[in-house]
Structure 1
């Protein structure tokens, strides 16, 4: 069976897609399967000129928006690149971004399309202050979900929470399948270690949606209470300068290390103690599963798909979003009680191994793929 995994970003980009899809290829290396990856290179800009028409809505209603215009141009570029680079047919296309799915179906209308929605671009843009809730960009982006529903043979997402979010924008929400991201267990090797000072780590893109301003305020409270710690922030983004300034303003810059973007944080994540990310929204939160597989104690917010991974007090701690005091108190619990921290981490590791392994995700996907195999 010839499979095309259609991505938007190159596979080395951070995020749940890059944590799973490139590592799936070796699981499909057999005489029965032939899988290829495809994406739009960053250098491709303003190449496409094909007229864009959607079946379920008129996108030109939003054409005055620069954000919408950029999205449409990127879609045209993806169409241009797909027509240029893909000549041979596939038995099935599995797309992992709306642009990739819509372009693939435009070019190969007779090939079955499975579409996985990994996250909400519009929610992140709203939280990051780029667009307004209910504005033209928001309405354009959520309209794409119904278009994808019509064009794909199967829609999937990564958490029950996000499937519920999508239900407002599609005609048949009961048909949305849920397959959480899977992670290659061989990449994550817990390492026995003893840190005299608790080491906190977070890994994310530095944007307001991730709530790192709340984390820095919580860490400032920890310092006021006399707790020693080091906070390691791995990732980069437009919010970095503001976060560095906030760390200085709060008097915790010496306790905070900004690494910038790192390609494989899982290689040294096991040497830390506590993973914390107070996101304002998460469709799934792949990095929590990665931290759990590294045997770290987890602290997150009770939003989106995070509580599907963390059962409060059992395999991690959950706090409300936008609450630095509650976050400080949760961190205080795992900083001051190493045995409690270890128990949470071990339970999180057990759950992640059983529910978020790449083997589990691949087996579920194989069942779906085979249901579209030509007899």
Structure 2
């Protein structure tokens, strides 16, 4: 097949959509398909200021109220005519102009849904109208989506290159418990609670360290909290190689995000990356996180409860407990491998071509 992947985000910047896009591109190419990526990035425009048109026909995109859509629609038409795809997979509903162009040219489409973007109900509903088949990253996201009853949908998780994650010496005893967290430093990721909890269990006598990888608007706050804690190390973003090394060398991964309306983890690919490294995890029991964690770690019901997180850290400090979760993770991570997930997509692509 000739498959056009349309995305609002593509490397080098890091991020979840970038990871989903590049890994799907790699997997499809490894299966022998002809793939091209079309990045249509609306980041320099305010989607809140764009009126979603109440049009019934595609040509209504050309009204004066919708100059952005007209411009991106034309770019999409040109790209589709140039590449001549058998199918277009839009990795985000922000790529609505691509979906409209595909409808005009009678090309079947798949649209991926995640979580936060679905708060824009008008945009989501219009994307569904132009989509042949919806792809969801989790069962949770399907429940969040408000899909029409007639809309076809399938689930396929984000993928990783499982073989590239080394299984470190995570369950040895006798050393300090090394914890790691990787996230954008924003309110929802709840890293402040993680730092406070590590501080608490350390004071209780648990010999432990915490490394935080990431960046964002809350970084100064987190660094301030950690400034007097020599066992907490706050890093910025590191290279992919360094991230994998740190994961494989850590005893446990800890990240307990909050759910703030639609601002919630639709899945949580970083939990799979940790498990592929042989590192058991602690996550939150909300959104799509339980589907990502499976039986490879511990879930806390209240991510703001320092007491509950303290208990989870104490549990994961036990060598036998970590070994159990590491074995559980090893048995499940293959289902998230690039080739496995790409095959799942292709199977569903064939349903609409």
TM-score interval for Structure 1 and Structure 2 normalised by the shorter chain: 0.7 to 0.9
Look up the match of 2:320.
339
Contact kept, 8 Å, 1:2 with 1:90, in 2: the verdict is yes
Look up the match of 1:113.
109
Write out per-residue CA displacement over residues 292-322 of structure 1, whole angstroms, 9 at most, x where no aligned residue: 11110110110011112334xx421111221
Distance 1:231 1:241, change over 3 A: same
Look up the match of 2:202.
223
SS in 1 for 2:254: strand
Distance 1:298 1:260, change over 3 A: same
Contact kept, 8 Å, 2:133 with 2:352, in 1: the verdict is no
Distance 1:96 1:31, change over 3 A: closer
Write out per-residue CA displacement over residues 59-116 of structure 1, whole angstroms, 9 at most, x where no aligned residue: xxxxxxxxxx9xx89767754654676651221110111112x121233322111001
Distance 1:301 1:26, change over 3 A: closer
Aligned counterpart for 2:249 among listed residues 243, 248, 271:
271
Contact kept, 8 Å, 1:279 with 1:300, in 2: the verdict is yes
Write out per-residue CA displacement over residues 169-206 of structure 1, whole angstroms, 9 at most, x where no aligned residue: x3227733211112222221212365821111111111
Contact kept, 8 Å, 2:255 with 2:282, in 1: the verdict is yes
Distance 1:22 1:31, change over 3 A: closer
Length-normalised TM-score, structure 1: 0.79
Q: How far apart, in 1, do the equivalents of 2:31 and 2:116 lie?
A: 36
Contact kept, 8 Å, 1:97 with 1:116, in 2: the verdict is yes
Deviation of 1:24 (Å):
3.4
Look up the match of 1:357.
337
Look up the match of 1:257.
233
Look up the match of 2:305.
323
Distance 1:4 1:300, change over 3 A: same
Look up the match of 2:61.
none
Distance 1:18 1:31, change over 3 A: closer
Deviation of 1:339 (Å):
2.2
Deviation of 1:210 (Å):
0.7
Number of aligned residues = 329
Q: How far apart, in 2, do the equivalents of 1:174 and 1:85 lie?
A: 26
Look up the match of 1:300.
283
The structure showing larger relative contact order (alpha-carbon pairs under 8 Å, at least 6 residues apart) is 2
Contact kept, 8 Å, 2:4 with 2:35, in 1: the verdict is yes
Q: How far apart, in 2, do the equivalents of 1:174 and 1:86 lie?
A: 24
Q: How far apart, in 1, do the equivalents of 2:239 and 2:150 lie?
A: 36
* RMSD after superposition: 2.9
SS in 2 for 1:38: strand
SS in 2 for 1:147: helix
Query: Any residues of structure 2 matched to 1:77-226 within 5 Å, and which?
Result: 78-79=72-73, 82=76, 87-88=81-82, 89-100=84-95, 102-109=96-103, 110-121=106-117, 141-167=120-146, 170-172=147-149, 175-192=152-169, 194=172, 196-226=175-205
Deviation of 1:4 (Å):
0.7
Deviation of 1:119 (Å):
2.9
The yes-or-no answer on 1:35 pairing with 2:14 is no
Q: How far apart, in 2, do the equivalents of 1:300 and 1:177 lie?
A: 25
Distance 1:80 1:267, change over 3 A: farther
Deviation of 1:224 (Å):
1.8
Look up the match of 1:241.
220
Look up the match of 1:371.
351
